[in-house]
Amino acid sequence: MAVGSKKTAVKKSAIKPVAKVAAARKPVAKKTTGKAGGKNANPLGLEKKLPGQFDTLQEIALAAYRKLPAPVWDHLMGGADSEMTLRRNRAGLDALALRQRVLVDVRNIDLSTTLLGQELAFPVFPAPVGGFLGKVHHEGGPAVARAADSRGTTAFIATAAKPSLEAAQQAVKRKLIFQLYVRGDRIWIEGILDRVRKAEYGALCVTVDRNFYGRRERDIVSGLPVKEGFGDQSFQASLNWKDLIWMKERVGLPLIAKGIATAEDAVLAVEHGADVVYVSNHGGRQLDHAQGSIEVLDEVVRAVAGRAEVLADGGVQRGTDVVKMLCLGAKAVGVGKLLGLSLSAGGEAGVARMLELMELEIRTALGLMGVTSIKQLGPQWLRAVPILGTPSSVSAYPLLEEAVRRNAR
Ligand SMILES: Cc1cc2nc3c(=O)[nH]c(=O)nc-3n(C[C@H](O)[C@H](O)[C@H](O)COP(=O)(O)O)c2cc1C
């Protein structure tokens, strides 16, 4: 039986929106004078900053850390079992260095790309993060859709996103991508797919790496009332490749297969109608001891051999992470935890600012590498290097890592 179904599956009504949980707590500034943090626990004055004023991604993550109750933080930032996959996502990125060329005129740098024919101003998008959006924001899906649209990119909206799949797409003119979890029989799927088509989404993304619910032990131990998903999970567990063909036909939209981690499955995905192969291990929340996303990217790109577009996510927290994934053949890159952090820290404006800072980091990295267009990127820009430090979900942000180590909320 999948985890948490009895002991930790608490009624939906027991899930308090974070805003309410946070409101019940003392203001952050007063709280940080305690033993854990000392007088300087909040030296950046984050509590005074409006979301649009965050200067760094690190501040966004720190603000979220101070705002979120510990179990919700753990739910967002944790992974399955020993969290080896989660750490490998970062380790794989950290094991690559960027090469740089100098004396190139980099005043103009083109970051634009396309996804299924749709223009993206830069190659980053909010990945689907299910019901989490609704936990930390009263609006959820529409807020993320608007934030992405305001920065010229598109958002993936998960099946569990609140308030409804229709509300998210109605919030923006830009075509969004609907991400499907299968929680019912064919009639149930048909109902959802018909709604997706009617709502005028741009593509269907079927997540294929969640046939079982990963054992996220932080949630089990904290007792956070996180459901393992709505509806009947066994339908997801019984999915097979032919179902993809049927779903694509029914919805009449381009198909994205999310959660591909091998060359073999990349080939099968293309053969079963995938227009986009999305390399992902669910941010390390599903199979433990899997390979890091960036470690499998090259084999997937080779196997796809130009027959589909390739997206990727996993451990991406910096513009340089995005650049590395692009070098290995990803067309655009998703952020999951970082989306959750920015929505928690600053709502819609926080997500927009996160995307803006991501874009700034990518532009800065490319400028310093002597690259004027992401089209120039390729494996020749990368070198394998020894990893420094201990990769984790907070290791890309030294100030945050330090705050977490000191438990300085
Ligand atoms: C809180 C949370 C909820 C998620 N929910 C979903 C989901 O509903 N559907 C899905 O396909 N992936 C889901 N994911 C996985 C993300 O789409 C993405 O693959 C992953 O977070 C990328 O890794 P990163 O968090 O290191 O950026 C979720 C991730 C997080 C952190």
- The rounded percent of the chain whose pLDDT value lies above 70 is 88
Instruction: From the candidates 75, 137, 282, 289, give the one annotated as an active-site residue.
Output: 282
The answer, yes or no, to whether residue 45 has pLDDT greater than 90, is no
- In contact, 118 and 202? CB cutoff 8 Å: yes
Phi, psi of 270 (to 5 degrees): -60, -45
Residue nearest to atom 13 of ligand 1 (CA): 129
Distance 282 CA to ligand 1 centre (A): 5
* 354: number of Cβ within 10 Å: 27
Pairing of strands 96-98, 382-384: antiparallel
pLDDT digits (tens, 9 = 90+) for 81-118: 999 999 999 999 999 999 999 999 999 999 999 999 99
Give me the residues paired with residue 312 across strands. 279, 333
Please tell me the distance between residue 222's alpha carbon and the centre of ligand 1 in angstroms. Answer: 20
**Is the per-residue pLDDT at 384 higher than 90?**
yes
Alpha helices in 171-256 (DSSP H): 186-198, 217-222, 234-237, 241-251
> Torsion angle of alpha carbons 343, 297, 80, 68, nearest 10°?
-10
- Tens-place pLDDT, residues 144-202: 999 999 999 999 999 988 899 999 999 999 999 999 999 889 999 999 999 999 999 99
The predicted-structure confidence for 67-89, as pLDDT tens digits, reads as follows 999 999 999 999 999 999 999 99
What φ, ψ does residue 310 adopt, rounded to 5°? -120, 125
pLDDT of res. 29: 36
Q: pLDDT grade, residue 50 (50/70/90)?
A: confident
pLDDT digits (tens, 9 = 90+) for 322-349: 999 999 999 999 999 999 999 999 999 9
Report the distance separating Cα 220 and Cα 240, nearest Å.
Answer: 29
Q: Does residue 140's CB lie within 6 angstroms of at least one atom of ligand 1?
A: no
Say if ligand 1 is within 6 A of residue 350 CB. no
Kindly state if the Cβ of 282 falls inside 6 Å of ligand 1: yes
Whole-number pLDDT of residue 160: 86
Angle at which helices 398-405 and 57-67 cross, to 10°: 20
User: Which contiguous run of DSSP H or E holds residue 255?
Assistant: strand 255-260
Task: Check pocket membership of 160 for ligand 1, CB cut-off 6 A.
Answer: yes
DSSP secondary structure string for all residues of 127-192: PP-TTHHHHH-SS-HHHHHHHHHHTT---EEETT-SS-HHHHHHT-SSPPEEEE---S-HHHHHHH
Say if CB 346 and CB 357 are below 8 A apart: no
CA distance readout (Å), 25 to 38, 44, 58, 66, 69: 19, 21, 23, 11, 9
Residue 299, pLDDT > 80, answer: yes
Instruction: Classify residue 348 as exposed, middle or buried by CB count within 10 Å of its CB (0-12, 13-18, 19+).
Output: buried
Are the beta carbons of 126 and 156 closer than 8 angstroms? yes
Active-site annotation holds for 282: yes
Place of tokens 């930790």: 8
Q: Is the CB of 224 under 6 A from ligand 1?
A: no
